[in-house]
Every structure is written in structure tokens, then in C-alpha cells.
Amino acid sequence: MWGMLVAWGEWMKVNTFDKKLFQLYHIIMSKLNLYKLQEKFGEIKKSIFTPQDLKLLFYANDRAINGFLTYNNKKGKILKLKKGLYGISKSNFSSNLIANLAYKPSYISFETALSYYHLIPETVYSIISATSKASREWNMQNTNYVYRSIKKEAYAGYIIKTIENEQVLIATPEKALADYCYFIYLGKIKEWNSRLELKDINLKKVKEYLKLFNNRKIINFIKKYLPQLCLIVNCLIG
């Protein structure tokens, strides 16, 4: 489709007997171009997008969109972050937004969220998210993205926050802690962070979120192996 339109346009330059057709060609070609893309995304402050976004913005078909993306990716003007996810080159990408968009449904949680809320002192260099789908991990734009699978019933407790000028889905402090405790119980996080700050945590909310995992053994495990969480355990038992 893309190549046919270009060829048609070149032919029409020579055979200008039908100016209306030539004008139609320019209308079609001008609808989906990099300048228009940057202009529209600048208006809505968007730098990461999917082919579906282009379809909604430009009313273009799949072949035209694929041709546009392939051409500009080869030219280095558009980056392919992963299959079905693209970014405009030289943009400042939000790694948190990429985490949300790269694998759906997901929200930022675990150590990444705990660090964001200053509940642990360490900087977490991976973006760790919870998902109701299978666990995944990959590297994009020199950032490691980790997705940890949780039960669908426990896929809750996240909010929208503006981080790095982008609206992203992130766990509440209490849900981030509940997710973290659950993975400690599963043995998928090997060591409890002894420097985790709990004084501002709403323990009743932690209790409600842990209930979503529908596993009473988590409470017994915390009581036996994680003395740092005695305060939470007492709240849960009460």
C-alpha cells in the first residue's frame, strides 16, 4: 500500500491531467507523517505509542501504519521498544510508563514502589511490576523490566500517580508491601529487607490486601520467619 501510493504519486507528477487525483494523493500521504505525529503527540505530551494509537489519530489502515513505522525505524527516527511499542527518537522516555505499556495488565509494585515511597533506602534499578499474566523479564533502552505474576483476585490496590510528568499505575504503599510479603512467602524473593520503614504503613490495609491472596499460611509464615513483621502479624491476627 505504502509503496503503491508513492509510485502513484510519482506517476501523477508526470501525468498531471487529473489534478484532483494528484491532490488526493497528497492528502493521503500527508495524513500520516513524522511531522504530524510529533505535532499531535506534542499537543498531548505523548512520546510512547502503539500502532493502535496511530490508527485512532490518523484513521490509517494497518498496512499504511506498518509501512510508516518500518520506514522511520530504519531511518532512526522512530525506536521500536518492543513488539507493538514504539517511541519517537530523541525523546525522554519514562521508564515507569514503558513498564505500564510494555506488558498489560500491570502496575509498578514490590521493591520499585517501596523505594518510590521511601520505605526502603536503596535505589532499585529494575522496574518491578505486578501482573495477572505470566511472569516476564526483558531489557529495553538499558533498563531492566521485571513482571511478577500474582493471582487475579489479588490484582488490586494500585492508583494513578504522576511520575516524571507521566501518569502511571503504581501500587499503594500497603499493596506494594503485601505483594512483597507474598513473594517472600513463595520464596521468590530470597531475603527480607531489614531496613524497610513501617511506621507510616496502614496495617489494616495491609491485612485486607493480604487476604486477597486467599492463603492463611502467609500469616503463619510471616509470624515464624519474619520477626521484623510482628507488628503486621498482630494486626492480622486481631
pLDDT tens figures, 22-51: 444 444 445 788 888 888 887 767 789 999
In terms of CATH architecture, what is 2-88?
A: Orthogonal Bundle (1.10)
3-state secondary structure of 78: strand
Q: For residue 22, what pLDDT is reported?
A: 46
Q: In terms of Cα–Cα distance, which of 102, 234, 224, 216 is closest to 168?
A: 102
CA torsion sign, 43 to 47 to 50 to 54? positive
pLDDT tens figures, 93-125: 889 999 999 999 999 999 999 999 999 999 899
3-state secondary structure of 124: coil
Q: In terms of Cα–Cα distance, which of 116, 123, 210 is closest to 163?
A: 116
Q: In the chain, what are the domain boundaries? A: 2-88, 95-237
